Chains A and B, each alone.
Chain A
Amino acid sequence: MAILLIAEHNNQSLKTETHKVVQAAADIGGDITVLVAGFNCAAAASEAAMISGVNKVLVADNAAYEHQLAENIAALVAELGKDFSHILTAATTTGKNFLPRVAALLDVAQISDVIAIESADTFVRPIYAGNAIATVQSADAIKVLTVRPAAFRAAETGNSAPVEAINTTAHDAGVSGYVSEELTKSERPELTAARVVISGGRGMQNGENFALLNGIADKLGAAIGASRAAVDAGFVPNDMQVGQTGKIVAPELYIAVGISGAIQHLAGMKDSKIIVAINKDAEAPIFQVADYGLVADLFTVLPELEQQL
């Protein structure tokens, strides 16, 4: 088995999702080659070389790959991927964007959002928003998979795999260009990588009240999330949304504040190790999945919690 794994990075550094996909690749078994495609991305490549289990790192360093445009990245991966039995990347918005394009160029299926590896050709993935779990077997010569990072632990570091530059002509499809990016600036960890997540729902009543979560998040080193109801009500921006249509998280500790627990939301956080629910409605469905439930008014509980941590 020879596995090609496309790293997730921002040119300067590797994203932790990559370490988790390496773990999924190790579960399949075989030689693992990590491709770092970007521009001035040497730092990200040397980080990839440190992940245990990685045999080789390939670097495609070209302006055409700077913004991970799907048209260009897919052409590169499809060219390199022909010699591999598996092609893996994280099921992030970047991976979901370019990998189906790779699969189509190679004329094979893609298995999306894999949450467990049964064997080299059999994979487990959620369907119907996690309300059913499918086990599928692929007879394609090249198995193309996106891996849900939250479902795998991060591979260790401490390796020093060889790093090789790719000298093929850069792929620039010429049909797409990068215009701009607006990334939410935050000192806090990213939602999908955080050890602790605290999320607010409709019960927060407005966007200003989300400030009540700040102090607690600071003390716990937590990321702050929100339910779809809170996002749709305009309290907070969309990229804070945890749920079926937002981020899928699985932290050590998830604290749901003023969140009723719609199926939509549960799909995004039910694999958290410990779930705490704070809600004044004792009948809220969130309590059915919470390890610790506190039936109380969040506006009295939150300041108290911040103080006691």
Chain B
Amino acid sequence: MKILVPVKRVIDYNVKVRVKADQTGVDLANVKMALNPFCEIAVEEAVRLKEAGTASEVVVVSIGTTAVQEQLRTALALGADRALHIETDLNLDSLQVAKLLAKVVADEQPGMVILGKQAIDSDNNQTGQMLAALTGMGQGTFASKVVVNDGKVQVTREIDGGLQTVELTLPAVVSTDLRLNEPRYASLPNIMKAKKKPLDVKAADSYGVSLESKVTLLKVAAPVVRQGGVKVESVAELVDKLKHEAKVI
């Protein structure tokens, strides 16, 4: 079984986000970029399925400028077999990304698509579900456990209030949550080897998909900063303030 893993290049999760003064977006100039953490977990899960003999090949795909090849090489160093870069300068919305990925699914015919539940920049949490809809596949979102067996996959999902397990007919889409696995670090020999693994480039407009979004970003503002209050000296003072000043108990 082939596994397709779509990945995204995003701001490194350790970087403090700064909104641009003109409110057009977030300042990404000279900022450290990385593989989206949820995507890293998706790559790790696919590689583990290959190591367990369940999967035969792991293909990673990313959409964006030439810069995304850096993240594709990272995924190859983590154990993916080959990469596809869909080149565009446009900043696509989830629906357009899902449409392009649906074309890749038609070309590659994977047995499973594993991808992060959301990117930590747009925080949309949409692409996997949209891809599943466009391809008619079942979906196992926010996965904390994935078990493949006999043409089916059982996905344990992190839901509000606990866990839910669903069974999907393959091919299916699985989106990863944080506790699915702990991704490995790429070793130096694997980083060197990744440089020689195949990486194809295709233009986004060669897929015949409309890349236009009907959603316009009007402005991006910094959140309102909450002001700190006072320090109290004792439990008695705290209880008194909550009762008589804040009136919340």
Chain A residues near B (Cβ < 8 Å)? 67, 69-71, 74, 92-94, 96-105, 107-113, 122, 126-140, 173-184, 190, 192, 196, 220, 238-239, 245, 247, 252-253, 270, 273-276, 287-295, 301, 304-305, 308-309
Contacts and interface: CB of A to CB of B under 8 A. Distances in A.
A135 B246 contact: no
Contacts of B233: 294
A274 B218 contact: no
Interface in B70-98: 93-95, 98
B196 interface: no
Contacts of B142: 93, 96-97
Interface string B210-249: 0001111111111100101111111110110110001011
B37 to A, nearest CB: 9
B69 interface: no
A56 to B, nearest CB: 27
Given A136-B217, A177-B166, A101 B130 contact: yes
B172 interface: yes
Contact of B129 (A97, A174, A252, A290): A97
Q: Which of B93, B162, B236, B248 has the most chain A CB atoms closer than 10 A to its own CB? A: B248
Contact of A112 (B124, B128, B221, B246): B124
Q: Which of A67, A99, A110 has the most chain B CB atoms closer than 10 A to its own CB? A: A110
Interface in B146-199: 154, 157-169, 172, 178-179
A111 B223 contact: no
A2 to B, nearest CB: 19
Nearest to A264: B13
B206 interface: no
B55 interface: no
A175 B159 CA distance: 20
A188 to B, nearest CB: 12
Contact of B248 (A71, A196, A289): A196
A309 B125 contact: no
Nearest to A237: B162
B21 interface: no
Interface of B: 11, 16-17, 19, 26, 93-95, 98, 120-134, 136-142, 144, 154, 157-169, 172, 178-179, 213-223, 226, 228-236, 238-239, 241-242, 246, 248-249
Contact of B236 (A220, A252, A289, A308): A308
Nearest to B168: A176
Contact of B167 (A103, A177, A275): A177
A192 B160 contact: yes
B17 A132 contact: yes
Contacts of A239: 158, 160-162
A184 B161 contact: yes
Given A99-B129, A133-B223, A288-B226, 5 more contacts: A93-B159, A103-B126, A135-B218, A183-B161, A292-B246
Q: Describe B's contact surface by its main secondary structure.
A: mixed
B129 A293 contact: no
A253 B242 contact: yes
B229 A137 contact: no
Q: Describe A's contact surface by its main secondary structure.
A: mixed
A120 to B, nearest CB: 14
A309 B242 CA distance: 10
B52 to A, nearest CB: 21
Contacts of A131: 16-17, 19, 222-223
7 contacts: A109-B213, A128-B120, A128-B123, A135-B218, A175-B136, A247-B160, A293-B230
B163 to A, nearest CB: 5
Nearest to A192: B160
Q: Which of A105, A109, A301 has the most chain B CB atoms closer than 10 A to its own CB? A: A109
Given A108-B95, A110-B94, A132 B220 contact: yes
Contacts of B230: 291-293
Given A92-B160, A180-B165, A110 B238 contact: no
Contacts of A133: 220-223
A140 B222 CA distance: 27
Contacts of B222: 131-133
B235 to A, nearest CB: 4
Contacts of B125: 96, 100, 112
B214 A252 contact: no
A132 B162 CA distance: 29
B98 A104 contact: yes
Contact of B228 (A137, A180, A289, A308): A289
Contacts of A290: 228-229
Contacts of B158: 93, 238-239
A94 B162 CA distance: 12
